[in-house]
Amino acid sequence: MSDLQTNLGYTFSRHSLIKHAITHSSFVHEQKLEAGDSNERLEFLGDAVLELCISDFLYHRYPDMNEGDLTKKRASLVCEATLASLARKLKIGQFILLGQGEASEGGREKDSILSDVFESILGAIFLDGGLEEVRALILRLYEPIADKASRQAKDFKSTLQEVLQKKSNETALYTIIKEDGPAHKKEFTAQASHQGKILGTGTGGSKKIAEQEAAKMALEKLKKR
pLDDT by 10s per residue, the chain, length 225 = 789 999 999 999 999 999 999 999 999 999 989 888 999 999 999 999 999 999 999 999 999 998 888 888 898 899 888 999 999 999 999 999 999 989 998 999 999 899 999 999 999 999 999 999 999 999 999 999 998 876 444 678 888 888 888 888 888 999 999 998 876 677 899 999 999 999 999 998 888 888 989 999 999 888 776
Q: What is the pLDDT of residue 152?
A: 43
Written as one letter, the residue type at 161 is: Q
Q: For residue 91, is it left (φ>0), alpha (ψ between -120 and 50) or beta?
A: left
Which of 119, 128, 155, 211 is labelled catalytic?
A: 119
- The answer to whether the CB of 170 falls within 8 A of the CB of 164 is yes
155, 81 Cβ separation under 8 angstroms:
no
Measured CA to CA, the distance from residue 97 to residue 165 in angstroms comes to 42
Q: Is-catalytic flag, 47?
A: yes
* Terminal Cα distance for the chain, rounded: 54
Query: Residue 142 and residue 24: Cα distance in Å, rounded?
Result: 25
Q: Alpha carbon of 49 to those of 25, 32, 119, 151: distances in Å?
A: 21, 30, 9, 21
Which member of 47, 80, 116, 213 is catalytic? 47
- State the pLDDT at residue 41: 95
What pTM value is reported for the model? 0.74
119 is catalytic: yes
